[in-house]
């Protein structure tokens, strides 16, 4: 089983969106025995809270349910437990590199590195914008998850 953790700042916008999309992909593709996904934030100021209502709304309009997810802070044990820790932007990746033992650095990457055809390497933070920013983040998460997990269906 491959364990994947999506990481953003507060774990209420980008990383739970990626987690929700990935969970949906895994369930609808019958890959529950192949993947485990979760999300976390580099900061703990939203710990225990549900995703941002705008993220929940944008996701629900496309058939993804984020309502049961709860924010949590990235922990040192996450570096041990997960096979791949995917940052939503360079700042998150730098944080993970600084706060993990070097032995785990090979597990760290930018999420959108798996979808280079997008021409983007970061999922922009939609928090301070309107619903369009959440829609765009969701677009990127859908494409990134498709490329990340889609290879499992192609035998890659």
Q: pLDDT in tens for each of the 156 residues of the chain?
A: 999 999 999 999 999 999 999 999 999 999 999 999 999 999 999 999 999 999 999 999 999 999 999 999 999 999 999 999 999 999 999 999 999 999 999 999 999 999 999 999 999 999 998 889 999 999 999 999 999 998 655 543
Q: Nearest CA to 53 among 73, 39, 69? A: 69
| Radius of gyration, alpha carbons of the chain | 14
Domain harbouring 116, CATH code: 3.40.50.2300
pTM: 0.95
Residue 55 has which token pair? 């993220």
pLDDT of residue 89: 98
- From the candidates 70, 121, 125, 139, which is the catalytic residue? 125
Alpha helix stretches (DSSP H) within the chain:
14-28, 53-60, 76-81, 90-98, 131-154
Q: Is 8 a catalytic residue?
A: yes
pLDDT of residue 155: 45
Backbone angles phi, psi at 88, to 5 degrees: -80, -25
Q: Is 14 a catalytic residue?
A: yes
Number of domains in the chain: 1
- From the candidates 13, 14, 38, 54, which is the catalytic residue? 14
Q: Could you list the residue range(s) of the whole structural domain that residue 91 is in?
A: 2-154
Q: For the chain, first and last CA: distance in Å?
A: 15
CB 134 within 8 A of CB 141: no
d(CA 6, CA 135): 18
Cβ atoms within 10 A of the Cβ of 124, count?
15
Residue 22 has which token pair? 């990935």
């Amino acid at each position: 089983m491959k364990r994947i953790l999506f990481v953003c700042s507060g774990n209420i916008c980008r990383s739970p969106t990626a987690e929700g999309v990935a969970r949906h992909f895994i369930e609808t593709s019958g890959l529950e025995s192949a993947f485990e996904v979760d999300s976390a934030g580099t900061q703990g100021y939203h710990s225990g809270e549900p995703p941002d209502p705008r993220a929940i709304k944008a996701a629900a309009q496309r058939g993804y349910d984020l309502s049961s997810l709860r924010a949590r802070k990235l922990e040192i044990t996450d570096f041990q437990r997960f096979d791949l820790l995917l940052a939503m932007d360079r700042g998150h990746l730098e944080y993970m590199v600084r706060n993990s033992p070097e032995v785990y650095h090979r597990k760290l990457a930018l999420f959108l590195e798996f979808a280079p055809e997008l021409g983007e390497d970061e999922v922009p933070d939609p928090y301070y914008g309107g619903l369009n920013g959440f829609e765009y983040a969701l677009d990127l998460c859908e494409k990134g998850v498709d490329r990340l997990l889609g290879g499992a269906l192609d035998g890659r």
